[in-house]
C-alpha cells in the first residue's frame, strides 16, 4: 500500500492521516467542507511542530510528512487509493451513504475500512457491492498517542482483506487486537458503560465531577477520570455509542444516563465545545 484515503477531516480523521504520513504513506484527506479540511491539516501541522519541539521527530521528517498529505473536498480524488478509511460521524445512515459513494469510486482492488467505534461492521459492509473487501479499523483518540487499533472482521470480510489491514496497522506503528463483530466491540463495550455509570453517580449527587475523576485516578489507577475522558471523547460520541449498545443488546444495563443526554442537548460536548463535565 502506498496511498491511503481518509473521509472525514475531524479529530479522528486528521489523526489517522498524521500517523499514516509519518510512516511514509501518501494520504488524501477528504471532507465535504473545504474549511474542515483546512482545519484538519492545520491541526496536523501544529501536532508535528509539537513533536519536533519535544524531540520526537526532526524538522525534515515533519516537513516530509506534511508534504505527503493532500487535502480535498471532492470524494473522487480518492480514486487511486489502495485503502480508504471512512472516519465520518458515528451515525449509521451517514456512514452508509459515505461507503456507497466510496464503493463506486475506489478501484476494485482497494480495501475499504470504517473507523466506527460501535456500529456493526457486517451491516456497514452490506452496503458495498463486494463486502469481502470491507473491514473495521477502530483507532483510538488521540490517534498519534494511542497505540491500539481494533481490527474487526464483518461476516463477509475476506482473509486477504484482514491480513492486509493487520500489515498496514503494524506499518504505521500500531498494535492490534483481532475482534469479532459485536456492538461496541471490545474496548468500548467495557469503557463506555463505565463512563455512563460515572454520569449516573454524578447525576445522583454521590460526588462532584472532580471527586469522581480523582477517585478513579487514585483508587483504580486510571490515568484520566471517566468524566474527563468523556469530555475528551466528546459527549455526543459517548452518547451515540451508548445508544448503539442499548438498541442492539436491548438490555436496560446499557440505558444512557439522562444527564448525559441532557448535556448533549445543551451543546455541552466536552473539550471541543469548551464545556462538558469540566470547563476548558
- Pick from 139, 136, 140: nearest CA to 112: 136
Confidence at residue 89, expressed as pLDDT on a 0 to 100 scale: 87
Q: How is the chain split into domains, by residue range?
A: 3-180, 189-265
Predicted model pTM: 0.91
Of 90, 138, 181, 196, the catalytic one is 138
Of 14, 26, 30, 117, the catalytic one is 117
Determine the length of the chain.
Answer: 280
91 assigned to active site: no
- The class of domain 189-265 in CATH terms is mainly alpha
96 assigned to active site: no
As a whole number of angstroms, the distance between CA 254 and CA 242 comes to 6
As a whole number of angstroms, the distance between CA 185 and CA 189 comes to 6
**Residue 104: pLDDT above 90?**
yes
46 assigned to active site: no
Of 118, 150, 181, 196, the catalytic one is 150
Q: Which residues pair with 136 in a beta bridge?
A: 114, 152
As a whole number of angstroms, the distance between CA 151 and CA 113 comes to 10
Strands of 61-209 (E only): list them: 69-72, 83-86, 111-114, 134-139, 148-153, 175-180
- The class of domain 3-180 in CATH terms is alpha beta
278 assigned to active site: no
The yes-or-no answer to whether 3-180 and 189-265 have a common fold is: no
As a whole number of angstroms, the distance between CA 65 and CA 48 comes to 9
**pLDDT 10s digits, 167-199:** 999 999 999 999 999 999 999 999 999 999 999
**pLDDT 10s digits, 244-278:** 999 999 999 999 999 999 999 999 999 999 999 99
Amino acid at each position: 500500500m502506498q496511498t491511503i484515503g481518509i473521509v472525514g477531516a475531524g479529530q479522528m480523521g486528521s489523526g489517522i492521516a498524521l500517523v499514516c504520513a509519518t510512516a511514509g504513506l501518501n494520504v488524501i484527506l477528504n471532507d465535504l467542507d473545504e474549511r474542515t479540511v483546512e482545519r484538519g491539516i492545520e491541526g496536523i501541522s501544529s501536532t508535528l511542530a509539537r513533536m519536533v519541539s519535544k524531540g520526537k521527530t526532526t524538522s525534515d521528517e515533519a516537513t516530509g510528512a506534511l508534504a505527503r498529505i493532500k487535502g480535498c473536498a471532492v470524494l473522487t480524488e480518492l480514486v487511486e487509493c489502495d485503502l480508504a478509511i471512512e472516519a465520518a460521524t458515528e451515525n449509521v445512515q451517514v456512514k452508509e451513504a459515505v461507503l456507497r459513494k466510496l464503493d463506486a469510486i475506489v478501484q476494485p482492488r482497494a480495501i475499504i475500512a470504517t473507523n466506527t467505534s460501535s456500529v456493526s461492521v457486517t451491516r456497514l459492509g452490506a452496503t458495498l457491492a463486494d463486502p469481502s473487501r470491507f473491514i473495521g479499523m477502530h483507532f483510538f483518540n488521540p490517534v498519534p498517542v494511542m497505540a491500539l487499533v481494533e481490527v474487526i472482521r464483518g461476516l463477509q470480510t475476506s482473509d486477504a482483506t484482514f491480513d492486509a489491514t493487520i500489515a498496514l496497522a503494524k506499518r504505521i506503528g500500531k498494535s492490534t487486537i483481532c475482534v469479532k463483530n459485536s456492538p461496541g466491540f471490545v474496548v468500548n463495550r467495557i469503557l463506555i458503560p463505565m463512563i455512563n455509570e460515572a454520569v449516573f453517580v454524578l447525576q445522583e449527587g454521590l460526588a462532584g465531577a472532580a471527586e469522581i475523576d480523582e477517585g478513579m485516578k487514585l483508587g483504580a489507577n486510571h490515568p484520566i477520570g471517566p468524566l474527563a475522558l468523556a469530555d475528551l471523547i466528546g459527549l455526543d460520541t459517548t452518547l451515540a455509542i451508548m445508544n448503539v449498545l442499548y438498541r442492539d443488546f436491548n438490555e436496560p444495563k446499557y440505558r444512557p444516563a439522562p444527564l448525559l443526554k441532557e448535556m448533549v442537548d445543551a451543546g455541552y460536548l466536552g473539550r471541543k465545545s469548551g464545556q462538558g463535565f469540566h470547563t476548558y
